[in-house]
Amino acid sequence: MKVKVIDHPLVQHKLSLIRDIKTGPKEFRELLEEISMLMTYEITRDLPLEDITVETPMGPCACKTLSGKKVGIVPVLRAGLGMLSGMLRLIPTAKVGHIGLYRDPQTLKPVEYYCKLPTDVAERDFIIVDPMLATGGSSVASIDLLQRYGVKHIKLMCLVAAPEGVRLVNEKHPEVEIYVAALDDHLNDHGYIIPGLGDAGDRIFGTK
Ligand code: PRP
Ligand code: URA
């Protein structure tokens, strides 16, 4: 399995809190924002830099600046929205696309209901964000969609993944790097991640 687990102590501590059944929507949203910010810090390590000279009050200083690589973030609706604000805190110039998918409760297959992407997709590196990578159907459908629009470089950032979902994305899209805060044990018969954290969308928006 090709997946990078972000094992930073702050991420792991906050992940334990967010999993807890006693954590309500307000705290869940705050933790998800914080974890997303920390994960973004890790997954943007390869952003290219270039040299610049900055004039400090004491004189010129050789510095670095981001070399203008354009980034796109695509939250998968609904639950991916919970990860967006934390990411935009660190990459405020990123453009944001939205993909609307829900998982049919019977077939567990993703059903697409919305897609709106930035116009200059081919020039940007994209990060797809969704807290849960379960069967992998939603992530594969999101990657397929972005590639149909001409996106070349995609990373996938999820909070919790099941091995089944990682394997499917690896198989269908070996070119996509997957970053998660945890790789859990398995899926149950209803396609929920065990131990997981329950239904991410419902916990973010308080719908159950
Ligand atoms: C959840 C989750 C993923 C999907 C993962 O969304 O946010 O998008 O399920 O499952 P998969 O890997 O088996 O496709 P859900 O369908 O519950 O929609 P929601 O975000 O609107 O609640
Ligand atoms: N979607 C969720 O929100 N949670 C799971 O465990 C699986 C899919």
Given pLDDT bands bounded at 50, 70 and 90, which one contains residue 69?
confident
Residues 6+ apart with CB under 8 A from 39: 6, 11, 157, 179, 181
pLDDT in tens, 130-185: 999 999 999 999 999 999 999 999 999 999 999 999 999 999 999 999 999 999 99
Ligand 2: distance of its center to the CA of 169 in Å? Answer: 16
Mean of the per-residue pLDDT values for the chain?
Answer: 97
Q: Please choose from 103, 143, 169, 208 the residue to mutate so as to test ligand 1's pocket, defined by most ligand atoms within 8 A of CB.
A: 103
132 Cβ below 6 A of ligand 1: yes
CA distance 98 to 200: 17
Q: Check residue 192 and give its pLDDT.
A: 97
Helices 25-43 and 9-19: angle between axes, nearest 10 degrees: 150
Residue 166 in contact with residue 132, Cβ under 8 Å?
A: no
Q: Is the pLDDT of residue 113 over 90?
A: yes
Catalytic residue among 65, 89, 107, 185: 107
Q: Which residue among 18, 109, 138 has the greatest number of ligand 1 atoms within 8 angstroms of its CB, and so is best to mutate?
A: 138
Question: Ligand 1, atom 6: nearest CA belongs to which residue?
Answer: 102
3-state SS class at 102: strand
User: For 70-92, how does the pLDDT look when each residue is reduced to its tens digit (9 = 90+)?
Assistant: 999 999 999 999 999 999 999 99
39-53 pLDDT, tens digit each:
999 999 999 999 999
71 Cβ below 6 A of ligand 1:
no
Query: Backbone phi, then psi, for 51, in 5-degree steps?
Result: -80, 140
pLDDT range class, residue 96, cuts 50, 70, 90: very high
